[in-house]
Amino acid sequence: MSQITDTDQMTLFGNKGALVHYYDKNGALHTGRLIRIIKRGRKAGQMVVQNQQGKKIIPYKVRNVE
């Protein structure tokens, strides 16, 4: 069995990015577009999301990815 990497999973979402439902540090639910997944460093495995105002953030907790 071959193992699926993060880059393989990103190709499944297409070019325009997937919708991500995430919680901020106050517990409010938001929706944004998935930009990338961090591969190196202390934050490896976390997602970078563009919120509705266009600002790129690392969400506190991700609910689901569509």
Question: DSSP readout, 24-42?
Answer: -TTS-EEEEEEEEE--SST
pLDDT tens, residue by residue, 7-43: 555 555 555 578 999 998 899 999 999 998 899 999 9
CA-to-CA distance for 59 and 37, rounded, in angstroms? 12
Domains of the chain as residue ranges with CATH: 6-65 (2.30.30)
- What is residue 9's three-state secondary structure? helix
Q: Sort strands 56-57 and 61-65 into parallel, antiparallel or unpaired.
A: unpaired
Is pTM beyond 0.75? Reply is no
The reported pLDDT for the residue numbered 30 is 93
